[in-house]
């Protein structure tokens, strides 16, 4: 009977270990996605700054005419 309980305990330990490994893998994926979104956000902010600078330059040019 002890062998049965030991076997069940080992199976449960392996099951929980597998779930923990999957959770860690999912965490890595989410961190990579987050990093990609941060990079994309920075690129969009730079693009907005470029457009704002271009718009300001055009406004100055229009005022000087």
pLDDT tens digits, one per residue of 14-53: 999 989 888 888 888 899 999 999 999 999 999 999 999 9
- Measured CA to CA, the distance from residue 48 to residue 54 in angstroms comes to 10
- What's the CA gap between 46 and 37, in Å, rounded? 14
65: which DSSP letter? -
pTM: 0.58
Cα distance between residue 26 and residue 18, in whole Å? 12
Please tell me the distance from the alpha carbon of residue 53 to that of residue 58, in angstroms, as a whole number: 9
């Amino acid at each position: 009977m002890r062998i049965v309980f030991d076997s069940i305990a080992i199976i449960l330990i392996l099951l929980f270990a597998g779930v923990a490994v999957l959770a860690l893998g999912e965490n890595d994926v989410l961190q990579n996605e987050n990093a990609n979104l941060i990079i994309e956000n920075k690129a969009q902010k730079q693009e907005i700054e470029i457009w704002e600078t271009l718009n300001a330059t055009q406004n100055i040019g229009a005022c000087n005419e």
